[in-house]
Amino acid sequence: VAFAATGLRARTALAGTEETEKRILDFAGKAPESGKITLTAPEIAENGNTVPVSVKVDSAMSDDDRVVSVMIVADGNPNPEVATFHFTALSGAAAATTRIRLAQTQNVIAVAKMADGSVFMDKKEVKVTIGGCGG
Amino acid sequence: MAAAPKPRVKVPKTAKAGEVVLLKTLISHEMESGQRKDKDGNTIPRKIINKFSCEFNGEQVFSCDIDPAISANPYFEFSAKVNESGAFKFSWVDDDGSVYTDEQKIEVK
Amino acid sequence: GNWARAAAQQSLTESDLLDFQSFGNVTLVHVTDIHAQLVPIYFREPSVNLGIGAVAGLPPHVTGADLLKLYNIEPGSAHAYALTSVDFDALAKTYGRMGGFDRIATIVKRIRAERGDNMLLLDGGDTWQGSYTSLQTKGQDMVDAMNVLQPDAMTGHWEFTYGTDRVKELVESLPFSFLGGNIFDTEWDEPAFDAYKMFDRGGVKVAVIGQAFPYTPIANPRWMFPEWSFGIREEEVAKNVEAARAEGADLVVLLSHNGFDVDRALASRVKGIDVILSGHTHDALPEPLLVDKTLLVASGSHGKFVARLDLDVQGGELKGFRHRLIPVFSDVITPDADMAKLVSDLRAPYEAELKRELATTESLLYRRGNFNGTFDDMICQALLEVREADIALSPGFRWGTSVLPGQKITVEDVHSACAMTYPAVYRSSMSGQTIKDILEDVADNLFNKDPYYQQGGDMVRVGGMGYTINPDGAMGSRISDMTLLKTGESIDASRDYVVAGWASVNEGTEGPAIWDVVEEYLTQNPVVRLEENRSVKVVS
Ligand SMILES: [Mn+2]
Ligand SMILES: [Mn+2]
C-alpha cells in the first residue's frame, strides 16, 4: 500500500455546504443554472497542494454575449474561496486554468456571471487520497 | 525568508491579426495561507499574491482575485485576442504591498 | 470457436496454439504487464475479482468455474489451467510453467513471418519492473530483450518508478516510440511524451495512441518523477482520436494502461476508437469485449499470453476481426535460440543469487485475489515477526509469481513478489482510527462505483488483524469489525498499535528492504505452511 506512515490528515474546521452556498449566492445574486460553464479537474488529485482546475464558458465574448467573471469555490477547505477570474472583450476566449489547494476530498464549484446578468455553474468532486496499490 | 518572487510567462512571439493566443504565467511564491501554525503553535501570518492581472497595450485582458487556496507558485493560463502588435504587461500584487511585473512583446503579422 | 476446440484437448502441440488463419489486412500483437519475467513462471489467476456496480458479474469479473462455464472451457484442460485458479497446483504439475521471452519470441517471429509488414507489436507497459534482474539493471535487461522483439510502441506505469532521469535515458535509447498522451509536465502543463504515432500497415493507416497509467503519481511515489502529471484526461484522448482521424487514420488503437473498467467506461464515452488494448488490471480475456463500436482486448500478465488480433479495415472502417489469446505454454512452444541465448546472458551475472534457496513451501504461494494471497500472507507474517509489530500492512500488488507446494523458495521468487525501487519496511505507531482510514481509503480507490475513480490493484493485505468489508458500501463505511487477532479484541480507534509495512510512497521512509525482512523470516522458518486466511470477511 502506498500511503504515509504518519497521520493521514489534519482535522480542521471546514467550510461546509451552507457557507459555500452563501458565497455563491453573494457572487451570483441568484441561484445559478447548470449549463454554459464547464469545470475540468482531475478525478483524483495527484497532489492536494496543487490541483489543476480549468474553466471554460460557452460564450462568443462579443459585447452582448460575454462572460464577466467566474468564481471558483471549494466546499471542503477551511474557507470556500479559491479565486475569481475577470474576463474582458480582449480575453478572446472565456477560459482559464489555475492550480489550487484541496485539504481533502470535496466539490470544486465554478460559477459564471454573464454580461446579461444570467449565472451558470458546474461542479466536480475531486478526490484527495493516500493512494491505492498497483496493478 | 524565501527568495524574491520571480515571474515567468509564456507568450507567442507572433500572431495573426485577430488571433486568440494562449498565455501561461507562473510566479515563484510560497503563498503562506495564514492557516498554518509554526512548531510553537503560533499562526504563521498570511502572505500571498492576492491579485494577478494582464494588460495589452494598456488595456485590461484578464485579472484574478486570489485567495489562500491558490497553490504555491501561482499559475494562470488564459487567452487574449490580439489585433495589433504590442506588449503584454503582467502584474502580481503581494500582501506586503510589493508588485512584481513582467512584460512580453508580440508581433502581429 | 478455436478456443473451445483447443481447450477440449488434453495434449497441446505448438501448431494447436499458433496455427491461425490470417484474416483481414492488419494484425495487432499485444503483450502487457510482463513485469520483467524473462523466463517461464507459474502464475495463478485470481479466484476473487469483484466487479462493482454496473459491471458486477461481467468479464473480467468472472473467475474460476464461472469463467470456464462462460467461455465453454473444459475443466482440467490446459486452457482452464492458464485462465483460472481451479485445481491450480495439480494442473501446474501437468501443464508446467508459462511464458518466457524465448517462447514469446517464437510466437512473435512466426506471426511476423506470416503477416510481414501488416503487423504491429504493441507493449502495454509494466514491462521493466518486477524481477531481481530488472531491479539490478534498472530495467536494462527488459529493454534489451524487448528490443529484439522489435515492438512498434509502448506505454508505461511501473517504468516511472525508476525515476525521471533513468526513464528519460531508457526512453531515449528505444528504437521505437514510448507513447503517453496523458502525461504532461507539471510546470507548464505541456505534453511530456508523444501522444500517438501513425503507422502504415498493409495499406492501412493505423494510429496508435498511448495512455499511461493515470494514477501513477498516486499509486507510486510521485517524488520520483515530480515533473510529470498523469490523469485519465478523457478530453485529451478525444482530442488525439480526432487529430489522428484528421491525419488520415483508418484505424485508431488506444494502447492503454488504464485498467479494464476504466477502459470500458472510456470506450462508451469517447467515440472513434476502434480497438483498446487494455493493460494494468492483469485480466486475461479469451475473447475481446465489444463496447459500442470499440473492441476491448485484455491480454493477461507476466508473459503468460500473447494476444493476436487480425483486423479487416476497409475505407477507414473496421469491418471484422479474428482474435486469439495465445497461452504461452513453455513446454509446448519451442524456445527461440537467439532469445534464449540473450536471456541467459542477461541473467548470467546474477544466476547464483537468483537460484539461492531460502526455504521450502508446503503451501501454494500466490498473490492474486482482491483481499489476500498466500504470498502476501507470508510477507505479512515476516513483517509481524521480524519487525515485532502488532499489525502488518502489505500492498495489494497484482504482480508477483507463484511457487508450488514442495518447491524451494528462491531469492528470485521473493524478488518476483517484492522487487521495486522503494522497498523500505517502516515500523511506526498508528491509531486504530488511522488504520481504519487507510483501509477505507484504499477500498474506495478499488471499489468506487465510478470506474474513473478506480486505481486497479487489490486491497491492502493485513497481518495480525481481521476485518469485515462491504465493497459496495460508501466511502468511509465499507470497513467494520476490525479485530486484533492475537488478543481477539476489537481494534480501538483511539489506541496506538505498532504497524509494519512496506512500499510507502513517502520520500525518506526508512527501514530494511522488504526482501531482507522476508529472507530473515525464511531463515528462521525454513518450512512455510500457511493456513487458509479467514481474517477478511466480505459481506454485501
Ligand atoms: Mn501490471
Ligand atoms: Mn500497472
pLDDT of residue A129: 86
Q: For residue A65, what pLDDT is reported?
A: 86
Whether B24 has its CB under 8 Å from any CB of chain C: the answer is yes
Please indicate, yes or no, if residue B17 is contained in any of the structural domains.
yes
Place of cell 517471429: C109
Which of A51, A91, A99 is closest, CB to CB, to B80?
A91
pLDDT in tens, C426-484: 999 999 999 999 999 999 999 999 999 999 889 999 999 999 999 999 999 999 999 99
Average pLDDT on A4-26 reads 68
CB within 8 Å: B62 and A96: yes
Identify the DSSP state of C202: T
What spacing in Å lies between the alpha carbon of C124 and ligand 2's midpoint?
9
Instruction: Give the residues across from C462 on adjacent strands.
Output: C393
Give residue A8's pLDDT band: very low, low, confident or very high (50, 70, 90).
Answer: very low
- For residue C155, give every residue at least 6 positions away whose Cβ sits within 8 Å of its Cβ, in sequence order, or none: C123, C124, C125, C178, C179, C180, C210, C211, C212, C255, C256, C257, C279
Q: Over 70: is that where the pLDDT of A135 sits?
A: no
Strand order in the sheet with C496-502: C425-431, C496-502, C391-394, C461-463
The minimum CA-CA distance between C227 and chain B, rounded to whole Å, is 14
In A, minimum Cα distance to C222 occurs at A46
- In this predicted structure, the answer to whether residue C392 has a pLDDT above a threshold of 80 is yes
Q: How far is the CA of C49 from the centre of ligand 1 (A)?
A: 15
CB nearest B69 (choices: A82, A93, A96): A82
Is residue B63 included in any domain, yes or no? yes
> B84 in a domain, yes or no?
yes
Mean pLDDT of C163-183: 98
Q: How confident is the model at residue A61 (pLDDT cuts 50, 70, 90)?
A: confident
Round to the nearest angstrom and report the end-to-end CA distance of chain C: 37
C13-24 residue pLDDT tens? 999 999 999 999
CB proximity A97 to C under 8 Å: yes
Q: Which of A17-31, C6-20, C398-412, C452-466 has the lowest mean pLDDT?
A: C6-20
Q: How close, in Å, is residue B26 to chain C by CA atoms?
A: 8
Scanning every residue of chain C, which has its alpha carbon at the shortest distance from the alpha carbon of B77?
Answer: C188
pLDDT at C8 over 80: no
Any residues with CB less than 8 A from the CB of C348 and at least 6 apart, and which?
A: none
The answer as to whether B15 is a domain residue is yes
- Whether residue A10 lies within 8 A of chain C, CB to CB, comes out as no
Question: Which pLDDT score is estimated for A133?
Answer: 57
* Helix (H) and strand (E) counts in chain C: 18, 25
DSSP 8-state code for residue B51: E
Give the residue from C366, C468, C454, C466 showing the smallest Cα distance to C413.
C366
What's the CATH code of the domain at B12? 2.60.40.10
- The answer to whether the Cβ–Cβ distance between C445 and A1 falls below 8 Å is no
Q: CB A8 to CB C475 under 8 A?
A: no
ipTM for the predicted complex comes to 0.90
CB contact under 8 A, B69 and A99: no
The reply to whether A52 touches chain C by the CB within 8 Å rule is: yes
User: Any chain B CB within 8 A of the CB of A17?
Assistant: no
Domain that holds residue B101: 6-32+46-108
Interchain pair C398, A131: CB under 8 A: no
Q: Does the residue B1 lie in any domain?
A: no
Q: Is residue B39 part of a domain?
A: no
In this structure, is residue B41 part of a structural domain?
Answer: no
Residue B100 lies in a domain: yes
> Total structural domains in chain B?
1
Q: C265 to chain A, minimum CA–CA distance in Å?
A: 14
B77–C189: do the CB atoms touch at under 8 Å? yes
At C344, which helix (H) or strand (E)?
Answer: helix C337-347
Report the gap between the CA of C233 and the closest CA in chain B (Å).
Answer: 18
